[in-house]
Amino acid sequence: MVKPIVFVINILFFLTASILAAADVSVKSHDFVVSGVIINSGNANLIERFTQYLTAKSGHSLKPVFASTYQELSNTLRDNPDAIGWTCGAPYVQDHALDKQQLLSVPLFNGKPLYYSVIVTRKGRPEKSLTDFKQQILSYSDPRSNSGFVAPAFQLKKQGIAIKTHFRLLLNAGNHERSITAVLNGLADVAAIDEYVWVEYLKKFPQTGKSLHIIDRIGPFPFTPVVAGRSVPSDTIDKLNDALVNMPADAEGRQLLKELGIDGFVIKQNKFYDDIKVMLTELGWRLN
Partner 1 sequence: MIYSWIKKSYSRQLGALLLTTGLLISGAIAFFNFQAAVNLTRETMQESSEQLAKTLALVISDDVRYNKYFQLWDRLNQVYKSSRRSNLKPGSLVIREIAVIDNHELILGHTEPGNNQLQLPYQHELIDSLNHDVGSISDAYSHWFNKNSTLVTVLPVYFSSERIGTLILDINTSRLDAIEQKLLRTFWFYLLAILVILFCVSYIFSKWITKPLNQSIRYLDTLGRGNIRLPELTLRNDEFRVLGISIEDADMRLYNDTQELISYRDHLEDQVKARTKELESFSYSVSHDLRSPLRAIDGFSKALLDDNSDQLDEQGRSYLNRVCAATKRMGLLIDDILMLSRVSRTEMNYASVNLSELATKIVYHLQEQEPRHSVNVTIQKNLVCQGDKRLLNIALENLLGNAWKYTHGSDKATIELGQTRQDGDTVFYIQDNGVGFDMQFSKKLFDPFQRLHGSEFEGTGIGLATVQRIIFKHNGLIWANASVDEGATFYFRIGNRTAYPEQNK
For residue 226, CA distances in Å to 54, 71, 105, 263, 269 come to 12, 16, 5, 15, 12
Sheet strands (E) in 131-176 = 137-140, 169-172
Binding track, positions 168-187, relative to partner 1; x by CB under 8 A: xx-xxxx---x---x--xxx
Q: Is 237 exposed, middle or buried (0-12, 13-18, 19+ CB in 10 A)?
A: buried
For residue 54, CA distances in Å to 79, 87, 161 come to 23, 17, 44
Nearer to partner 1, 76 or 181 (CB): 181
| Bridge partners of residue 32, in order along the sequence | 64, 84
- Interface with partner 1 (CB under 8 A), residue total 15
**What's the closest the beta carbon of residue 151 comes to partner 1, in angstroms?**
20
Nearer to partner 1, 117 or 139 (CB): 139
Pairwise CA distance, residues 174 & 89, whole Å: 17
**What's the closest the beta carbon of residue 169 comes to partner 1, in angstroms?**
5
Nearer to partner 1, 83 or 171 (CB): 171
Q: Is 211 exposed, middle or buried (0-12, 13-18, 19+ CB in 10 A)?
A: middle
Could you say which of 76, 139, 145, 147 contacts partner 1 (CB under 8 A)?
139
**What's the closest the beta carbon of residue 132 comes to partner 1, in angstroms?**
16
| Bridge partners of residue 31, in order along the sequence | 63
Nearer to partner 1, 146 or 179 (CB): 179
138 binds partner 1 (CB under 8 A): no
Query: For residues 189-208, which are near partner 1 according to CB under 8 A?
Result: 189
Q: Which residues bind partner 1 (CB under 8 A)?
A: 137, 139, 168-169, 171-174, 178, 182, 185-189
